[in-house]
Amino acid sequence: MKPYLQKLMAGENLSMDEMTEAARLLFTGEASESECGALLGLLALKGETADEVAGLVNAIRERSPATLSVPGSVMDNCGTGGDGSHSFNISTTSAFVIAGAGITVAKHGNRSVSSKTGSADVLEYLGVSLDNSPEETAELLAENGIAFLYAPHVHPGMKAVMKVRKDLRVPTIFNLIGPLTNPVELDSQLLGIYRRDKLKLMGSVLQQLGRKRAVVINGAGHIDEASLSGDNHLVVLEDGDLKEITLHPKEVGFPTYANDEILGGDSERNALIMMSVLNGDEGPFRDTVLLNAGIGIFANGKASTIQEGIQLAENSLDSGAALGKLEFLIKKSEQSTKQGVM
């Protein structure tokens, strides 16, 4: 670890390969807790580069026992968390709408970070299993077009750095990389981030990781989702180029709502909100999901514009296709539980 720390202390950037090797030392336990803390602190002080973020992601993904290569085009829509907005589970609800529009979604997620209820919490409450094997996940993606990948199960090596991260009590590079570590090979991605100053950086990282298309978004109020409260800032990766755009909800036909109108709560509350949206109830929750799902469909490339993506999202909801995707996961989980008991 010493040469990497010395380089960072001199204010120099690590190459992607150097960062991958340094991260390997963290995950194998060859680096001490002091060295781990120093690496994370020096990266944060200097400011992480796209190569450094991508290098860490590569090291995490290569250690995942659940790395999957799924036929066809697969995407994810996941935020970094950390925005403190306490919103309902926007990206999780949107994932079912995107899948209902005919896009395969490998939904990567965890328990609560910045909200009261994380994606894993609400799906577990609804009866979706968090314990699928890689083979079961691949089957769900093939049969249903959406599966949930619970981050701690697909990245057990992350436990090696948890104590240091907790002891530091400040954001580090690990607060940026959650949505990037999906063990499924993704073609496209919608990535939400609470830090507007990192939009271009994360776009460059997605470029490095080989995404064909992607959108990185920081919503009005600095949330890690698209918001109906004002201007949303996006970086679009298309044809190898990064383009920055701003999107106001009125430009795509939505009214404005304050962010406190989409507050969530505990698992039961967020499950009720999710089911109300998937069952067709109108209001700020539905409109927020339509905006985010529409951007996700555009990020995938199934829609050539965000407006077209929103129309496909509406069709997914109104036809019952989105709800059907969730019901399939619940049914499969129930069947697995019964077989396990038998």
Q: Per the annotation, does 280 bind a ligand?
A: no
Q: Per the annotation, does 235 bind a ligand?
A: no
| d(C-alpha 255, C-alpha 136), whole Å | 41
Q: Per the annotation, does 320 bind a ligand?
A: no
Q: Per the annotation, does 224 bind a ligand?
A: yes
Q: Per the annotation, does 79 bind a ligand?
A: yes
Q: Per the annotation, does 215 bind a ligand?
A: no
Beta strand 104-109 pairing with 241-247: unpaired
Q: Per the annotation, does 165 bind a ligand?
A: yes
Q: Per the annotation, does 221 bind a ligand?
A: no
Q: Per the annotation, does 233 bind a ligand?
A: no
Region for 246 from its dihedrals, namely left if φ exceeds 0, alpha if ψ lies in -120 to 50, beta otherwise: beta
Q: Per the annotation, does 89 bind a ligand?
A: yes
Please calculate the CA angle 124-288-120 and round it to the nearest 5 degrees.
Answer: 15
Q: Per the annotation, does 114 bind a ligand?
A: yes
Q: Per the annotation, does 246 bind a ligand?
A: no
Cα–Cα nearest to 55, from 209, 253, 235: 209
Q: Which amino acid is at 105?
A: V
Q: Per the annotation, does 112 bind a ligand?
A: yes
Q: Per the annotation, does 113 bind a ligand?
A: yes
- Burial of residue 269, with CB atoms counted within 10 A of its CB: 0-12 exposed, 13-18 middle, 19 or more buried: middle
Q: Per the annotation, does 223 bind a ligand?
A: no
Q: What is the DSSP string of 187-219?
A: SEEEEE-S-GGGHHHHHHHHHHTT-SEEEEEEB
Residue 260 CB contacts under 8 Å (≥ 6 apart), including other chains: none
CA separation, residue 288 to residues 17, 89, 254, 293, 307 (Å): 39, 11, 9, 9, 14
| d(C-alpha 71, C-alpha 229), whole Å | 38
Q: Per the annotation, does 198 bind a ligand?
A: no
Q: Per the annotation, does 110 bind a ligand?
A: yes
Contact in structure between 174 and 162 (CB atoms under 8 Å): no
Which residues contribute to the annotated binding site for Mg(2+)? 91, 224-225
Which residues contribute to the annotated binding site? 79, 82-83, 87, 89-92, 107-115, 119, 165, 224-225
Which residues contribute to the annotated binding site for 5-phospho-alpha-D-ribose 1-diphosphate? 79, 82-83, 87, 89-92, 107-115, 119
Which residues contribute to the annotated binding site for anthranilate? 79, 110, 165
